Amino acid sequence: MGVVNLADSFSEFKEFKNINRPTLMRVLEDVFRTLLRKRYGDDDNFDIIVNTDKGDLEIWRRREIVDNGNVEDDLRQVSLAEARKIEMDYEIGEELYEEIKIDHFGRRAILAARQTLISKIMDLEKDELYKKYSERVGEIVMGEVYQVWKRELLVLDDDGNELILPKNEMIRRDYFKKGDPVRAIVKEVALRNNNPVIKLSRTDNNFLAKLLELEVPEIFDGLIVVKKIVRQPGERAKVAVESYDERIDPVGACVGMKGSRIHGIVRELKNENIDIINFTGNTPLFIRRCLTPAKINSIDINDETKRVEVFLDPEEVSKAIGRGGVNIKLASKMTGFEIDVFRDVDEFEEEDDILLEEFSDEIDAWVIDVLKGIGLDTAKTVLALERAELIRRSDLEDETVDHLVKILADEFKEDTGEEDASVTAETETKDAAAAETNVAEANEKVEASVEEEVSGEEE
Protein backbone atom coordinates (compact mmCIF):
# COMPACT_ATOMS: atom_id res chain seq x y z
CA MET A 1 0.00 0.00 0.00
CA GLY A 2 2.86 2.36 0.86
CA VAL A 3 4.51 1.83 -2.52
CA VAL A 4 1.25 2.61 -4.33
CA ASN A 5 0.70 5.77 -2.30
CA LEU A 6 4.16 7.02 -3.05
CA ALA A 7 3.80 6.29 -6.74
CA ASP A 8 0.49 8.14 -6.74
CA SER A 9 2.23 11.07 -5.07
CA PHE A 10 4.78 11.22 -7.89
CA SER A 11 2.05 11.31 -10.50
CA GLU A 12 0.49 14.22 -8.57
CA PHE A 13 3.78 16.07 -8.20
CA LYS A 14 4.56 16.08 -11.91
CA GLU A 15 1.27 17.96 -12.46
CA PHE A 16 2.19 20.93 -10.27
CA LYS A 17 1.74 24.13 -12.27
CA ASN A 18 4.37 26.58 -11.04
CA ILE A 19 7.36 24.31 -10.38
CA ASN A 20 9.90 23.55 -13.09
CA ARG A 21 11.32 20.06 -13.55
CA PRO A 22 14.83 20.66 -12.10
CA THR A 23 13.36 22.12 -8.93
CA LEU A 24 10.95 19.22 -8.52
CA MET A 25 13.77 16.68 -9.01
CA ARG A 26 15.93 18.45 -6.45
CA VAL A 27 13.16 18.43 -3.83
CA LEU A 28 12.34 14.77 -4.37
CA GLU A 29 16.00 13.82 -4.17
CA ASP A 30 16.47 15.80 -0.94
CA VAL A 31 13.52 14.05 0.70
CA PHE A 32 14.77 10.57 -0.18
CA ARG A 33 18.35 11.34 0.83
CA THR A 34 16.92 12.27 4.23
CA LEU A 35 15.10 8.93 4.25
CA LEU A 36 18.36 7.10 3.38
CA ARG A 37 20.29 8.85 6.13
CA LYS A 38 17.69 7.77 8.67
CA ARG A 39 17.82 4.16 7.40
CA TYR A 40 21.56 3.70 6.78
CA GLY A 41 23.19 6.62 8.59
CA ASP A 42 24.77 7.99 5.40
CA ASP A 43 23.74 8.61 1.79
CA ASP A 44 27.09 9.15 0.05
CA ASN A 45 27.12 5.85 -1.79
CA PHE A 46 23.52 6.05 -3.02
CA ASP A 47 22.33 7.37 -6.42
CA ILE A 48 18.78 8.63 -6.77
CA ILE A 49 17.21 8.87 -10.23
CA VAL A 50 13.90 10.78 -10.45
CA ASN A 51 11.79 10.56 -13.58
CA THR A 52 9.16 13.30 -13.19
CA ASP A 53 7.75 12.63 -16.67
CA LYS A 54 6.78 9.05 -15.83
CA GLY A 55 6.22 9.74 -12.15
CA ASP A 56 8.68 7.14 -10.83
CA LEU A 57 11.94 6.99 -8.87
CA GLU A 58 14.93 4.65 -8.65
CA ILE A 59 17.47 4.29 -5.83
CA TRP A 60 20.77 2.54 -6.48
CA ARG A 61 23.32 1.54 -3.83
CA ARG A 62 27.05 1.52 -4.74
CA ARG A 63 29.52 -0.78 -2.90
CA GLU A 64 33.11 -1.74 -3.58
CA ILE A 65 33.81 -5.47 -4.05
CA VAL A 66 36.56 -6.70 -1.68
CA ASP A 67 38.10 -10.09 -0.93
CA ASN A 68 36.12 -12.43 1.27
CA GLY A 69 36.72 -11.68 4.94
CA ASN A 70 38.07 -8.17 4.29
CA VAL A 71 34.75 -6.30 4.61
CA GLU A 72 35.36 -3.46 7.07
CA ASP A 73 32.38 -1.22 6.21
CA ASP A 74 29.13 -2.98 5.33
CA LEU A 75 27.69 0.29 4.02
CA ARG A 76 30.38 0.82 1.39
CA GLN A 77 31.91 -2.64 0.88
CA VAL A 78 30.67 -6.09 -0.15
CA SER A 79 32.50 -9.45 -0.29
CA LEU A 80 33.29 -11.08 -3.61
CA ALA A 81 31.15 -14.06 -2.69
CA GLU A 82 28.09 -11.85 -2.08
CA ALA A 83 28.68 -9.99 -5.33
CA ARG A 84 28.94 -13.20 -7.37
CA LYS A 85 25.57 -14.31 -6.04
CA ILE A 86 24.17 -11.44 -8.11
CA GLU A 87 26.46 -11.85 -11.15
CA MET A 88 29.37 -14.27 -11.62
CA ASP A 89 31.52 -11.86 -13.70
CA TYR A 90 32.33 -9.51 -10.82
CA GLU A 91 35.96 -9.15 -9.73
CA ILE A 92 37.65 -7.57 -6.69
CA GLY A 93 37.93 -3.76 -6.97
CA GLU A 94 34.80 -3.30 -9.10
CA GLU A 95 31.64 -1.56 -7.88
CA LEU A 96 28.43 -3.41 -7.27
CA TYR A 97 25.24 -1.52 -8.11
CA GLU A 98 22.16 -2.79 -6.29
CA GLU A 99 18.66 -1.30 -6.64
CA ILE A 100 16.88 -0.44 -3.38
CA LYS A 101 13.13 -0.92 -3.66
CA ILE A 102 10.91 1.71 -2.07
CA ASP A 103 9.09 -0.85 0.10
CA HIS A 104 12.49 -1.67 1.63
CA PHE A 105 12.10 1.40 3.87
CA GLY A 106 8.87 0.21 5.49
CA ARG A 107 5.32 1.50 5.33
CA ARG A 108 5.66 4.10 8.12
CA ALA A 109 8.79 5.66 6.61
CA ILE A 110 7.13 5.80 3.19
CA LEU A 111 4.02 7.57 4.55
CA ALA A 112 6.23 10.06 6.40
CA ALA A 113 8.19 10.71 3.20
CA ARG A 114 4.97 11.25 1.29
CA GLN A 115 3.76 13.86 3.78
CA THR A 116 7.13 15.60 3.72
CA LEU A 117 7.04 15.67 -0.08
CA ILE A 118 3.53 17.13 -0.19
CA SER A 119 4.42 19.82 2.34
CA LYS A 120 7.64 20.84 0.57
CA ILE A 121 6.08 20.83 -2.88
CA MET A 122 3.13 22.93 -1.70
CA ASP A 123 5.46 25.48 -0.11
CA LEU A 124 7.56 25.56 -3.25
CA GLU A 125 4.52 26.12 -5.43
CA LYS A 126 3.37 29.00 -3.24
CA ASP A 127 6.80 30.59 -3.42
CA GLU A 128 6.94 30.18 -7.18
CA LEU A 129 3.43 31.62 -7.61
CA TYR A 130 4.29 34.60 -5.41
CA LYS A 131 7.49 35.20 -7.35
CA LYS A 132 5.77 34.79 -10.72
CA TYR A 133 3.06 37.36 -10.05
CA SER A 134 5.30 39.73 -8.11
CA GLU A 135 7.19 40.16 -11.37
CA ARG A 136 3.91 40.78 -13.21
CA VAL A 137 2.55 43.61 -11.06
CA GLY A 138 1.29 46.30 -13.44
CA GLU A 139 0.65 43.85 -16.27
CA ILE A 140 -2.67 42.80 -17.79
CA VAL A 141 -3.81 39.21 -17.21
CA MET A 142 -6.67 37.22 -18.69
CA GLY A 143 -8.77 34.89 -16.61
CA GLU A 144 -12.12 33.21 -16.22
CA VAL A 145 -14.61 33.92 -13.46
CA TYR A 146 -14.86 30.82 -11.30
CA GLN A 147 -16.83 32.09 -8.29
CA VAL A 148 -18.89 35.22 -7.64
CA TRP A 149 -18.99 36.41 -4.03
CA LYS A 150 -20.52 39.44 -2.39
CA ARG A 151 -17.33 41.48 -2.14
CA GLU A 152 -15.05 39.89 -4.72
CA LEU A 153 -14.70 37.54 -7.66
CA LEU A 154 -12.51 34.44 -7.78
CA VAL A 155 -10.74 34.31 -11.15
CA LEU A 156 -8.66 31.45 -12.53
CA ASP A 157 -5.80 32.15 -14.92
CA ASP A 158 -4.73 29.87 -17.78
CA ASP A 159 -2.74 27.70 -15.35
CA GLY A 160 -5.61 27.40 -12.87
CA ASN A 161 -4.07 29.77 -10.32
CA GLU A 162 -6.54 31.65 -8.12
CA LEU A 163 -6.73 35.44 -8.50
CA ILE A 164 -8.98 37.88 -6.62
CA LEU A 165 -10.89 40.78 -8.19
CA PRO A 166 -12.46 42.88 -5.37
CA LYS A 167 -15.75 44.66 -6.10
CA ASN A 168 -14.19 48.04 -5.23
CA GLU A 169 -11.63 47.44 -8.00
CA MET A 170 -14.37 46.88 -10.58
CA ILE A 171 -16.00 49.48 -12.82
CA ARG A 172 -19.47 50.46 -11.63
CA ARG A 173 -21.17 48.92 -14.65
CA ASP A 174 -19.11 45.71 -14.58
CA TYR A 175 -21.21 42.56 -14.39
CA PHE A 176 -19.64 39.10 -14.48
CA LYS A 177 -21.03 35.63 -13.96
CA LYS A 178 -19.32 32.27 -13.66
CA GLY A 179 -17.47 31.31 -16.83
CA ASP A 180 -17.15 34.86 -18.17
CA PRO A 181 -13.72 35.97 -19.43
CA VAL A 182 -12.25 38.93 -17.56
CA ARG A 183 -9.29 41.18 -18.25
CA ALA A 184 -7.62 43.16 -15.46
CA ILE A 185 -4.28 44.40 -14.22
CA VAL A 186 -2.23 42.78 -11.44
CA LYS A 187 -2.37 45.46 -8.75
CA GLU A 188 -0.94 43.80 -5.66
CA VAL A 189 0.64 40.51 -4.56
CA ALA A 190 0.79 39.78 -0.84
CA LEU A 191 1.30 36.85 1.53
CA ARG A 192 -1.52 35.98 3.93
CA ASN A 193 -0.78 33.12 6.32
CA ASN A 194 2.04 32.11 3.97
CA ASN A 195 -0.42 31.91 1.06
CA PRO A 196 0.01 34.25 -1.92
CA VAL A 197 -2.97 36.57 -2.49
CA ILE A 198 -3.04 38.12 -5.98
CA LYS A 199 -5.35 41.12 -6.31
CA LEU A 200 -6.54 42.41 -9.67
CA SER A 201 -7.95 45.81 -10.62
CA ARG A 202 -9.98 47.30 -13.47
CA THR A 203 -10.14 50.81 -11.99
CA ASP A 204 -6.40 51.44 -11.64
CA ASN A 205 -4.96 54.09 -13.98
CA ASN A 206 -2.32 51.62 -15.13
CA PHE A 207 -5.07 49.39 -16.54
CA LEU A 208 -6.00 52.13 -19.00
CA ALA A 209 -2.30 52.79 -19.70
CA LYS A 210 -1.69 49.12 -20.55
CA LEU A 211 -4.80 48.97 -22.74
CA LEU A 212 -3.48 51.97 -24.68
CA GLU A 213 -0.11 50.25 -24.99
CA LEU A 214 -1.80 47.17 -26.47
CA GLU A 215 -3.93 49.17 -28.93
CA VAL A 216 -1.42 51.87 -29.97
CA PRO A 217 1.84 50.50 -31.45
CA GLU A 218 3.49 53.94 -31.17
CA ILE A 219 3.10 53.80 -27.38
CA PHE A 220 4.47 50.26 -27.24
CA ASP A 221 7.46 51.34 -29.34
CA GLY A 222 8.11 54.42 -27.18
CA LEU A 223 7.40 56.99 -29.89
CA ILE A 224 4.46 58.30 -27.86
CA VAL A 225 4.64 58.63 -24.08
CA VAL A 226 1.65 58.66 -21.73
CA LYS A 227 2.51 61.54 -19.38
CA LYS A 228 -0.42 61.26 -16.97
CA ILE A 229 -3.80 59.58 -16.56
CA VAL A 230 -6.71 60.61 -14.33
CA ARG A 231 -9.93 58.62 -14.19
CA GLN A 232 -13.41 58.44 -12.79
CA PRO A 233 -13.75 54.72 -13.62
CA GLY A 234 -16.65 53.99 -15.91
CA GLU A 235 -17.48 57.69 -16.29
CA ARG A 236 -14.64 59.74 -17.74
CA ALA A 237 -10.87 59.68 -18.17
CA LYS A 238 -8.26 62.17 -19.34
CA VAL A 239 -4.99 60.99 -20.84
CA ALA A 240 -2.11 63.39 -21.52
CA VAL A 241 0.20 62.13 -24.27
CA GLU A 242 3.35 63.49 -25.87
CA SER A 243 5.20 62.49 -29.04
CA TYR A 244 8.99 62.40 -29.36
CA ASP A 245 8.62 62.39 -33.15
CA GLU A 246 7.37 65.64 -34.65
CA ARG A 247 5.89 63.75 -37.57
CA ILE A 248 3.50 61.84 -35.28
CA ASP A 249 0.29 63.39 -34.00
CA PRO A 250 -0.04 61.74 -30.54
CA VAL A 251 -3.77 62.44 -30.20
CA GLY A 252 -4.60 61.17 -33.69
CA ALA A 253 -2.44 58.07 -33.22
CA CYS A 254 -4.20 57.17 -29.96
CA VAL A 255 -7.69 57.74 -31.35
CA GLY A 256 -7.04 55.95 -34.63
CA MET A 257 -8.83 56.19 -37.95
CA LYS A 258 -12.46 57.02 -37.17
CA GLY A 259 -11.78 56.13 -33.53
CA SER A 260 -10.84 52.53 -34.36
CA ARG A 261 -8.15 52.29 -31.66
CA ILE A 262 -9.93 54.09 -28.84
CA HIS A 263 -13.31 52.37 -29.39
CA GLY A 264 -12.01 48.99 -28.25
CA ILE A 265 -10.73 50.51 -25.02
CA VAL A 266 -14.00 52.38 -24.44
CA ARG A 267 -15.95 49.13 -24.79
CA GLU A 268 -13.60 47.34 -22.38
CA LEU A 269 -14.13 50.14 -19.83
CA LYS A 270 -17.93 50.03 -20.13
CA ASN A 271 -18.28 53.16 -22.31
CA GLU A 272 -15.94 55.29 -20.25
CA ASN A 273 -15.54 58.67 -22.00
CA ILE A 274 -11.81 59.07 -22.75
CA ASP A 275 -10.30 62.48 -23.57
CA ILE A 276 -6.88 62.27 -25.23
CA ILE A 277 -4.96 65.52 -24.56
CA ASN A 278 -1.78 66.73 -26.23
CA PHE A 279 0.61 67.46 -23.36
CA THR A 280 2.39 70.82 -23.22
CA GLY A 281 4.56 72.69 -20.73
CA ASN A 282 2.53 75.84 -21.40
CA THR A 283 0.31 75.86 -18.31
CA PRO A 284 -2.53 78.12 -19.58
CA LEU A 285 -2.74 76.15 -22.83
CA PHE A 286 -2.67 72.83 -20.97
CA ILE A 287 -5.50 73.99 -18.68
CA ARG A 288 -7.55 74.98 -21.73
CA ARG A 289 -6.99 71.55 -23.26
CA CYS A 290 -7.88 69.76 -20.02
CA LEU A 291 -11.23 71.59 -19.82
CA THR A 292 -12.26 70.30 -23.24
CA PRO A 293 -14.93 70.51 -24.66
CA ALA A 294 -15.55 73.92 -23.05
CA LYS A 295 -14.21 77.06 -24.79
CA ILE A 296 -12.43 79.41 -22.38
CA ASN A 297 -12.35 83.19 -22.76
CA SER A 298 -9.61 84.02 -20.26
CA ILE A 299 -7.55 82.46 -17.45
CA ASP A 300 -6.11 83.98 -14.27
CA ILE A 301 -3.44 81.72 -12.69
CA ASN A 302 -2.13 82.06 -9.12
CA ASP A 303 1.00 79.90 -8.85
CA GLU A 304 1.37 80.51 -5.11
CA THR A 305 -2.05 79.21 -4.10
CA LYS A 306 -2.25 76.77 -7.02
CA ARG A 307 -5.65 78.14 -7.99
CA VAL A 308 -6.95 79.11 -11.41
CA GLU A 309 -9.88 81.37 -12.24
CA VAL A 310 -11.41 80.46 -15.58
CA PHE A 311 -13.87 82.76 -17.34
CA LEU A 312 -16.31 81.36 -19.90
CA ASP A 313 -19.51 82.29 -21.67
CA PRO A 314 -22.57 81.22 -19.64
CA GLU A 315 -23.45 78.44 -22.08
CA GLU A 316 -19.93 76.97 -21.76
CA VAL A 317 -19.97 76.67 -17.97
CA SER A 318 -21.87 73.38 -17.87
CA LYS A 319 -19.47 71.87 -20.43
CA ALA A 320 -16.44 72.83 -18.32
CA ILE A 321 -17.97 71.38 -15.17
CA GLY A 322 -19.36 68.22 -16.73
CA ARG A 323 -22.03 65.89 -15.42
CA GLY A 324 -21.71 65.69 -11.66
CA GLY A 325 -18.64 67.94 -11.80
CA VAL A 326 -16.50 65.09 -13.23
CA ASN A 327 -14.85 67.12 -15.99
CA ILE A 328 -13.59 69.92 -13.77
CA LYS A 329 -12.44 67.47 -11.05
CA LEU A 330 -10.38 65.49 -13.53
CA ALA A 331 -8.98 68.69 -15.05
CA SER A 332 -7.89 69.80 -11.56
CA LYS A 333 -6.15 66.48 -10.93
CA MET A 334 -4.47 66.56 -14.33
CA THR A 335 -3.14 70.13 -14.02
CA GLY A 336 -2.48 70.19 -10.26
CA PHE A 337 -4.49 73.42 -9.90
CA GLU A 338 -7.79 74.07 -8.14
CA ILE A 339 -10.03 75.45 -10.89
CA ASP A 340 -12.75 78.03 -10.21
CA VAL A 341 -15.21 78.64 -13.04
CA PHE A 342 -16.81 82.06 -13.61
CA ARG A 343 -19.38 83.24 -16.13
CA ASP A 344 -18.21 85.99 -18.46
CA VAL A 345 -21.22 88.37 -18.65
CA ASP A 346 -21.75 92.00 -19.65
CA GLU A 347 -21.95 94.64 -16.92
CA PHE A 348 -25.59 95.44 -17.59
CA GLU A 349 -26.44 91.78 -16.95
CA GLU A 350 -24.78 91.94 -13.55
CA GLU A 351 -26.44 95.16 -12.39
CA ASP A 352 -29.42 93.39 -10.89
CA ASP A 353 -27.40 90.39 -9.65
CA ILE A 354 -25.39 89.92 -6.42
CA LEU A 355 -22.09 88.07 -5.97
CA LEU A 356 -22.25 85.16 -3.51
CA GLU A 357 -19.34 86.63 -1.52
CA GLU A 358 -21.71 89.41 -0.37
CA PHE A 359 -23.69 86.76 1.55
CA SER A 360 -20.66 85.56 3.54
CA ASP A 361 -22.26 86.75 6.80
CA GLU A 362 -25.26 84.45 6.24
CA ILE A 363 -23.82 81.59 4.14
CA ASP A 364 -20.81 79.49 5.19
CA ALA A 365 -17.66 80.05 3.16
CA TRP A 366 -17.36 76.35 2.25
CA VAL A 367 -20.88 76.37 0.77
CA ILE A 368 -19.95 79.39 -1.37
CA ASP A 369 -16.78 77.55 -2.51
CA VAL A 370 -18.85 74.50 -3.49
CA LEU A 371 -21.22 76.66 -5.53
CA LYS A 372 -18.36 78.48 -7.23
CA GLY A 373 -16.77 75.12 -8.00
CA ILE A 374 -19.79 74.19 -10.12
CA GLY A 375 -19.86 77.56 -11.87
CA LEU A 376 -22.43 79.40 -9.72
CA ASP A 377 -20.92 82.69 -8.56
CA THR A 378 -23.97 84.94 -8.23
CA ALA A 379 -27.34 84.76 -6.50
CA LYS A 380 -29.40 84.66 -9.68
CA THR A 381 -27.35 81.80 -11.17
CA VAL A 382 -28.22 79.74 -8.09
CA LEU A 383 -31.90 80.69 -8.13
CA ALA A 384 -32.11 79.92 -11.85
CA LEU A 385 -31.52 76.22 -11.17
CA GLU A 386 -34.29 73.89 -10.09
CA ARG A 387 -33.95 72.57 -6.56
CA ALA A 388 -33.31 68.94 -7.64
CA GLU A 389 -30.67 69.99 -10.17
CA LEU A 390 -28.94 72.22 -7.61
CA ILE A 391 -28.78 69.33 -5.10
CA ARG A 392 -27.46 66.94 -7.74
CA ARG A 393 -24.72 69.24 -9.02
CA SER A 394 -23.59 70.61 -5.67
CA ASP A 395 -24.04 67.40 -3.64
CA LEU A 396 -25.24 69.54 -0.72
CA GLU A 397 -27.78 68.40 1.87
CA ASP A 398 -31.45 69.17 1.21
CA GLU A 399 -31.66 71.39 4.30
CA THR A 400 -28.54 73.33 3.27
CA VAL A 401 -29.94 73.98 -0.21
CA ASP A 402 -33.33 75.07 1.17
CA HIS A 403 -31.64 77.46 3.62
CA LEU A 404 -29.42 78.82 0.85
CA VAL A 405 -32.27 79.42 -1.59
CA LYS A 406 -34.36 81.15 1.10
CA ILE A 407 -31.55 83.59 1.94
CA LEU A 408 -30.96 84.47 -1.70
CA ALA A 409 -34.66 84.72 -2.56
CA ASP A 410 -35.35 86.89 0.51
CA GLU A 411 -32.66 89.33 -0.61
CA PHE A 412 -34.50 90.07 -3.83
CA LYS A 413 -37.85 90.19 -2.00
CA GLU A 414 -36.38 92.73 0.43
CA ASP A 415 -35.18 94.87 -2.47
CA THR A 416 -38.64 94.78 -4.00
CA GLY A 417 -40.21 95.52 -0.62
CA GLU A 418 -38.02 98.57 -0.04
CA GLU A 419 -38.89 99.92 -3.48
CA ASP A 420 -42.61 99.39 -2.80
CA ALA A 421 -42.24 101.10 0.56
CA SER A 422 -40.51 104.12 -0.96
CA VAL A 423 -43.18 104.41 -3.64
CA THR A 424 -45.91 104.15 -1.02
CA ALA A 425 -44.24 106.80 1.14
CA GLU A 426 -43.89 109.13 -1.81
CA THR A 427 -47.55 108.61 -2.73
CA GLU A 428 -48.63 109.25 0.84
CA THR A 429 -46.57 112.45 0.92
CA LYS A 430 -48.17 113.67 -2.30
CA ASP A 431 -51.65 112.82 -1.00
CA ALA A 432 -50.96 114.63 2.25
CA ALA A 433 -49.74 117.72 0.40
CA ALA A 434 -52.80 117.67 -1.84
CA ALA A 435 -55.05 117.35 1.19
CA GLU A 436 -53.38 120.31 2.88
CA THR A 437 -53.84 122.38 -0.31
CA ASN A 438 -57.53 121.49 -0.47
CA VAL A 439 -58.03 122.45 3.19
CA ALA A 440 -56.31 125.76 2.68
CA GLU A 441 -58.46 126.55 -0.36
CA ALA A 442 -61.60 125.62 1.57
CA ASN A 443 -60.63 127.88 4.48
CA GLU A 444 -59.99 130.78 2.08
CA LYS A 445 -63.45 130.28 0.56
CA VAL A 446 -65.08 130.19 4.01
CA GLU A 447 -63.26 133.34 5.10
CA ALA A 448 -64.26 135.11 1.89
CA SER A 449 -67.93 134.23 2.33
CA VAL A 450 -67.88 135.37 5.97
CA GLU A 451 -66.36 138.71 4.97
CA GLU A 452 -69.05 139.21 2.31
CA GLU A 453 -71.81 138.51 4.83
CA VAL A 454 -70.32 140.98 7.36
CA SER A 455 -69.93 143.72 4.76
CA GLY A 456 -73.54 143.15 3.64
CA GLU A 457 -74.87 143.55 7.15
CA GLU A 458 -72.94 146.78 7.63
CA GLU A 459 -74.48 148.25 4.51
Stretch 68-78: mean pLDDT: 78
In a domain, 265, yes or no: yes
In a domain, 348, yes or no: no
Structure confidence at residue 421 (pLDDT): 44
Question: Does one domain contain both 111 and 190?
Answer: no
Q: Which of 279, 296, 321 is the last residue of a domain?
A: 279
Query: Which of 35-49, 107-121, 154-168 ranks highest by mean pLDDT?
Result: 154-168
pLDDT at 16 exceeding the cut of 90: no
State how far the Cα of 36 lies from the Cα of 131, in Å rounded to an integer. Answer: 32
Of the candidate ranges 91-105, 196-210, 277-291, 399-413, the one whose mean pLDDT is the lowest: 91-105
Question: Does one domain contain both 17 and 76?
Answer: yes
Model confidence band, residue 231 (pLDDT cutoffs 50, 70, 90): very high
In a domain, 171, yes or no: yes
Range of the domain at 230: 222-279
Greater confidence (321 vs 238) lies with: 238
Question: Does one domain contain both 31 and 77?
Answer: yes
Structure confidence at residue 54 (pLDDT): 59
In a domain, 399, yes or no: no
Stretch 352-369: mean pLDDT: 80
Question: Does one domain contain both 56 and 154?
Answer: no
Model confidence band, residue 226 (pLDDT cutoffs 50, 70, 90): very high
CATH code of the domain containing 106: 3.30.1480
Question: Does one domain contain both 124 and 45?
Answer: yes
Question: Does one domain contain both 63 and 121?
Answer: yes
pLDDT at 440 exceeding the cut of 60: no
Question: Does one domain contain both 190 and 161?
Answer: yes
Stretch 195-214: mean pLDDT: 94
In a domain, 81, yes or no: yes
CATH code of the domain containing 239: 3.30.300.20
In a domain, 370, yes or no: no
Of the candidate ranges 319-333, 401-415, 420-434, the one whose mean pLDDT is the lowest: 420-434
Greater confidence (430 vs 394) lies with: 394
Model confidence band, residue 100 (pLDDT cutoffs 50, 70, 90): confident
Of the candidate ranges 205-209, 310-314, 343-347, the one whose mean pLDDT is the lowest: 343-347
Question: Does one domain contain both 18 and 124?
Answer: yes
pLDDT at 325 exceeding the cut of 80: yes
Instruction: Write the pLDDT tens digit of every residue in 262-286.
Output: 999 999 999 999 999 999 999 999 9
CATH code of the domain containing 148: 2.40.50.140
Structure confidence at residue 120 (pLDDT): 79
Question: Does one domain contain both 228 and 181?
Answer: no
Question: Does one domain contain both 195 and 108?
Answer: no
In a domain, 110, yes or no: yes
Structure confidence at residue 443 (pLDDT): 52
Question: Does one domain contain both 42 and 161?
Answer: no
Please write down the HEC assignment for all residues of the chain.
CHHHHHHHHHHHHCCCCCCCHHHHHHHHHHHHHHHHHHHHCCCCCEEEEEECCCCEEEEEEEEEEECCCCCCCCCCEEEHHHHHHHCCCCCCCCEEEEEECHHHHCHHHHHHHHHHHHHHHHHHHHHHHHHHHHCCCCCEEEEEEEEECCCEEEEECCCCCEEEEEHHHCCCCCCCCCCCEEEEEEEEEEEECCEEEEEEECCCHHHHHHHHHHHCHHHHCCCEEEEEEEEECCCEEEEEEEECCCCCCHHHHHHCHHHHHHHHHHHHCCCCEEEEEECCCCHHHHHHHHCCCCCEEEEEEECCCCEEEEEECHHHHHHHHCHHHHHHHHHHHHHCCEEEEEECCCHHHHCCCCEHHHHCCCCCHHHHHHHHHCCCCEHHHHHCCCHHHHHHHHCCCHHHHHHHHHHHHHHHHHHHHHHHHHHHHHHHHHHHHHHHHHHHHHHHHHHHHHHHHHHHHHC
Model confidence band, residue 48 (pLDDT cutoffs 50, 70, 90): confident
Q: Which of 103, 131, 159 is the last residue of a domain?
A: 131
pLDDT at 295 exceeding the cut of 50: yes
Question: Does one domain contain both 57 and 84?
Answer: yes
Structure confidence at residue 457 (pLDDT): 43
Q: Which of 155, 170, 203 is the last residue of a domain?
A: 203
In a domain, 146, yes or no: yes
Greater confidence (184 vs 443) lies with: 184
